[in-house]
Structure 1
């Protein structure tokens, strides 16, 4: 059994059972990946993948169990590489951030600018997605850190550090009837087509809970992962928009009006999340400190010691 064989299994699953895509990810040939899978299956005596003709279509029952172990081995092999890299040269390496559009667009730019100046040799990648996708990337080891709200803080395999609290604003075109309302209600929101984030009304998110508990049914006209997209369609007078308060810029969004609706929704907290079992490199700690400027090095060290490694 070789680590390369395990990597082939791992990448095939991550690439939706597409051997060709996995081969490209690994910078090798498709026949080479197929051969490594065959050799491993022969060695352990079970079929890892379900097949339909020559295509892989899923994991077998024992294959699913094997994949769990393979995933842990791959993550630990990355930890070993990170540990050795830390001692060889802690100013070089690859750093991947998974985050939502709101964080990437409105909170990260200055932090990234500072980070890149301090670590010019770090290969920095930013992956955008909704909170569920951010959580998934952390769990799969595809991201070193994740920055999001809601979903990220409820998985026990992810260690979360609170960063800051925020609430929501309601945006509308100038001259909209709600512009003159002193106190916006849920009934007001439900009276107009609503444009908001695609994850705001899935499952048990804060926004959906508030409407459900008030027995008010919103008129969801359009959803998007991008606050800029939401504001664009609000500008076209297709509805009113519910966005994170930091996503409204008085200068850039001067054709719109923003109304405070913090009295309608509980405060949300943005977290930085890392896997509980991940070795945290020095530049990762520095990034966390840059994103949470009120936190000292000593405070961060104490917080990280609480992880369940």
Structure 2
């Protein structure tokens, strides 16, 4: 058995057992992959995959155990490479970050700039997606570190740590009839056209749950993944916007005399927690620890190490 066989099986599972797509992803031939898998099955004396003709149909029960072992082996192979990089290049390399648009646009610029000042030889690779895509990039080791609000804690293969709490803000033109209200109610919002995030982004789940708990059906006239897009359509008068509080900071549109006003909505939708995520068992280079602490000073190296070893979170936000 060899690492090529393990990599083929791992990628076939990721590609829904489609060997054509597996071959494309690994830049090799489909017959070569099929032969390597058959050879490993013969060596182990079990069928890793159930077949219909030459097509793979499903992973067998012993195959699932083989795949779990392969995941551990390939993770440790990746760790060996990172250990080599860590000690041969102490202060250089690439930090791959997976995050959502809101975090990339409003939260990470400061920490990224600080990281570059502290480790000038480290380059940054920033990947944006929805929270589930962020999680998958960590699992696939496309990214070293992830940051998002939704979903990350749902994945057993990830270690997640709380970074900070935030609330939603209601945004509207200064001329809007509700602009003079300091505290708005769900009933008032239920009568307005609303502009908010796509259901999988930036705490939208809490918004939907709050309305449902009061048996209200809000009119969502536009959904977006980008806070700037929401604010743009609010300016055009399409409705009341619901955005993350990070999106209204340092925005001249909300300054005195600006064209928009913002009202806190934490009392309506509750608080959200942004979480940092790492792949369980991954070897972390020194600048990964450093970047985590730049995001939140609570995320010390000792805390992260305890969490990675199954010690949980030992601090309060």
Q: What TM-score do you get using the length of structure 2 for normalisation?
A: 0.82
Contact 1:138–1:275 (8 Å) recurs in 2: yes
TM-score (norm 1): 0.84
How many Å separate the matches in 1 of 2:154 and 2:176? 38
Which ranges of 4 or more aligned residues in structure 1 deviate by more than 6 Å? 201-204
Query: Residue 185 in 1 paired to residue 198 in 2?
Result: no
**For the structure 1 residues 58 and 100, does the alpha-carbon distance in structure 2 shift closer, same or farther, using more than 3 Å as the test?**
farther
Q: Name the residue aligned to 2:128.
A: 128
Q: Deviations over 1:17-51 (max 9, x none)?
A: 44444344434444433432333233334443455
Matching of residue 102 in structure 1 with residue 105 in structure 2? no
Does the Cα contact within 8 Å between 2:162 and 2:274 map onto a contact in 1?
yes
Q: Gaps spanning 5+ residues in structure 2: where?
A: 310-317
1:102 and 1:247 in contact (8 A); partners too:
yes
Which of 264, 272, 290 matches 1:286?
290
Structure 1 residue corresponding to 2:280, chosen from 268, 271, 276:
276
Q: Distance in 2 between matches of 1:92 and 1:33?
A: 35
CA–CA distance in 2 between the matches of 1:255 and 1:86? Answer: 50
Instruction: Find the partner of 1:262 among 251, 260, 266.
Output: 266
Deviations 1:42-98 (A, max 9, x none): 333444345566555653444333322222221121122222222222223343211
| Kept in 2: contact 1:129–1:225 (CA 8 A) | no
Give the unaligned 5+ runs of structure 1.
none
Indicate the residue corresponding to 2:142 in structure 1. Answer: 142
1:301/1:112 CA distance change after superposition, 3 Å: closer
State whether residues 182 and 263 of structure 2, in contact with CA within 8 Å, keep that contact through their aligned partners in structure 1.
no
Moved more, 142-151 or 62-71: 62-71
Q: Which moved more, 1:16-25 or 1:90-99?
A: 16-25
Q: Distance in 1 between the 2:142 and 2:32 partners?
A: 23
In structure 2, the residue corresponding to 1:180 is in which secondary structure?
A: coil
* Alignment root-mean-square deviation, CA: 3.0
